[in-house]
Amino acid sequence: MAEDLTRDVAPREWRAQVEAAIEEGFTFVDWLTAVDRTYLDEDDSPGFDIVVRLLDLSTPGDARGVRLTTRVPDGGSLHSLTPLRAGFAFHERETAEMFGIGFDGFTDDTGQGLRPLLLPDGFEGHPLRKSFQLAARASKTWPGGKEPGEGHDSAKSPSRRRVQAPGVPPPEWGPR
């Protein structure tokens, strides 16, 4: 398989550019997701990259791929791709639920709109955002070996700065 073509797309051109790729023969919906770009220092426009990958499977044994990417600010939304292909519905629902990104004009012919897909009823938040606090980290200690100076003979062990594991909320977070 050849390397994917990549295209950066302005948000206002999102649906038109995906439609153009479909017309070029990239008709198979492989996936659509988001990347949280909130805390990247080199990035001057934080938000979410929405990425879609489409495949052209018209030549047996020689699949071609294209990846289209656009940037959406926090709280922003995009035009839904479901009017182009029904296969986008699952991916848009998952991305909306996990990242909190809206898809205007979403339809999956159920009349229920953009609704939760994977998380239990009543779940609050968007767990794939970098800002999401992992509640399990507040109630359980981080697995693995102890830090130097913890639970050992402190006279023999050097101490170092404690490092928070990814997703560990600060001590003041959570129920009291």
- Locate CATH 3.30.460.80 in the chain: 5-104
Instruction: For residue 154, give the 3-state DSSP assignment.
Output: coil
Q: How confident is the model at residue 152 (pLDDT cuts 50, 70, 90)?
A: very low
**Does residue 49 surpass a pLDDT of 70?**
yes
Count of other CB atoms within 10 angstroms of residue 81: 27
* CA dihedral sign, ordered 10, 72, 117, 110: negative
Record the tokens describing residue 173, joined without a space. Answer: 């977070």
Question: Average pLDDT, stretch 36-65?
Answer: 86
Asked if 89 contacts 109 with a C-beta cutoff of 8 angstroms, the reply is no
What single-letter DSSP state applies at residue 50?
Answer: E
**Does residue 34 surpass a pLDDT of 90?**
yes
Record the tokens describing residue 110, joined without a space. Answer: 């159920």
Q: How confident is the model at residue 154 (pLDDT cuts 50, 70, 90)?
A: very low
Asked if 21 contacts 66 with a C-beta cutoff of 8 angstroms, the reply is yes
Q: How confident is the model at residue 15 (pLDDT cuts 50, 70, 90)?
A: very high
Note the pLDDT tens digit of each residue in 62-114: 899 999 999 999 889 999 999 999 999 999 999 999 999 999 999 998 999 99
**Does residue 57 surpass a pLDDT of 90?**
yes
User: Which numeric CATH code is attached to 5-104?
Assistant: 3.30.460.80
Percent of the chain residues past pLDDT 70, beyond the cut:
73
